[in-house]
């Protein structure tokens, strides 16, 4: 029995929200894949909270897409079971997102500490590993920083000669510019704090996007429940 009256409007709005869910799902998958590609070229090693985050984002994106597909089928066929499944799974996704947000807030200092330790560890491998050297050089050049806390960290690397930093620390990067440098010629701020500051600036954008997605999901749950109630009433009349 087809829904009537105001439920037709609810059904239409639910279709619109389902399209939004699909777009959000594709966006999450793209962000997760991009983050994974970036992390694969960074110095963070092993299964850490930071390295697992892209996997969680991709998994949520795929799951959200499947849930949106279930919701679309349920709304199209006005199937009670499919709509109940859609509402439950969408609620679970919201719980996962809330848990991820709480975990991100709780472990924010641990992630920065982990990044600091890894950065310092890989600084020691800089003269011995070309891949590590290229990663650190790119980070120092992109963020205009030098060392972990500051440029003096490079003095603690045994295999690096004194009065020398990587050329990527220089304001104007040229071959050999890091040898017998002056402070005016290099970036003095450390990379850990510089990158941490960049993350703090961008976390507001991420939080705003998360709130937007959560609002759409709440609307989806409400509309799905309204449609479920209407479908159930139709079954009882029959």
The per-residue pLDDT string of the chain (238 residues; one tens digit each, 9 = 90 and over) reads 455 556 778 788 888 888 888 888 888 788 778 767 766 655 555 555 556 667 877 888 898 889 888 888 888 887 888 888 888 998 888 887 777 777 767 776 777 787 888 888 889 888 888 888 888 998 899 899 999 999 999 988 887 777 889 999 999 999 989 998 888 999 999 998 888 877 777 666 666 777 777 788 888 888 888 888 877 775 554 5
pLDDT at 172: 92
Beta bridge partners of 36: none
Place of tokens 């110095």: 43
Place of tokens 């087809």: 2
Helical packing angle, 80-106 and 49-77, nearest 10°: 160
* CB of 54 closer than 8 Å to CB of 76: no
Spell out the domain ranges in the chain: 5-43+51-236
Q: In the structure encoding, which two tokens stand for residue 47, read together? A: 């299964």
Reduced to 3 states, what is the DSSP secondary structure of residue 149?
coil
Question: What is the enclosing helix (H) or strand (E) of 110?
Answer: helix 108-124
Q: Rounded to an integer, what distance in angstroms lies between the CA atom of residue 219 and that of residue 237?
A: 27
**Terminus-to-terminus CA distance in the chain, angstroms?**
8
* Cα–Cα separations (whole angstroms), residue 228 to 17, 72, 75, 144, 186: 16, 13, 9, 56, 64
Place of tokens 């040898």: 179
pLDDT at 41: 57
pLDDT at 195: 83
pLDDT at 48: 55
* pTM, entire model: 0.64
pLDDT at 5: 55
pLDDT at 207: 66
Q: Rounded to an integer, what distance in angstroms lies between the CA atom of residue 43 and that of residue 172?
A: 24
Strand boundaries in the chain, DSSP class E? none
* CB of 180 closer than 8 Å to CB of 163: yes
Q: Rounded to an integer, what distance in angstroms lies between the CA atom of residue 67 and that of residue 92?
A: 10
Phi, psi of 174, deg, nearest 5: -140, 160
């Amino acid at each position: 029995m087809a829904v009537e009256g105001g439920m037709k409007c609810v059904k239409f709005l639910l279709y619109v929200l389902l399209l939004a869910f699909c777009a959000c799902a594709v966006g999450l998958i793209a962000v997760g894949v991009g983050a994974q590609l970036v992390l694969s070229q960074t110095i963070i090693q092993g299964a850490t909270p930071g390295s697992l985050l892209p996997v969680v984002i991709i998994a949520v994106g795929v799951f959200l897409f499947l849930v949106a597909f279930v919701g679309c089928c349920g709304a199209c066929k006005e199937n009670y079971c499919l709509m109940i499944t859609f509402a439950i799974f969408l609620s679970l996704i919201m719980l996962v997102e809330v848990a991820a947000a709480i975990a991100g807030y709780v472990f924010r200092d641990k992630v920065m500490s982990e990044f600091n330790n890894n950065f310092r560890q890989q600084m020691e491998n800089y003269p011995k590993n070309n891949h590590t050297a290229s990663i650190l050089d790119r980070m120092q050049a992109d963020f205009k920083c030098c060392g972990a806390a500051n440029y003096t960290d490079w003095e603690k690397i045994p295999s690096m000669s004194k009065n020398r930093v990587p050329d990527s620390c220089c304001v104007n990067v040229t071959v050999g510019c890091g040898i017998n440098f002056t402070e005016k010629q290099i970036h003095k701020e450390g990379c850990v704090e510089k990158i941490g500051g960049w993350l703090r600036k961008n976390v507001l954008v991420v939080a705003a996007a998360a709130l937007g997605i959560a609002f759409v999901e709440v609307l989806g749950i409400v509309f799905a429940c309204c449609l479920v109630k209407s479908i159930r009433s139709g079954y009882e009349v029959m």
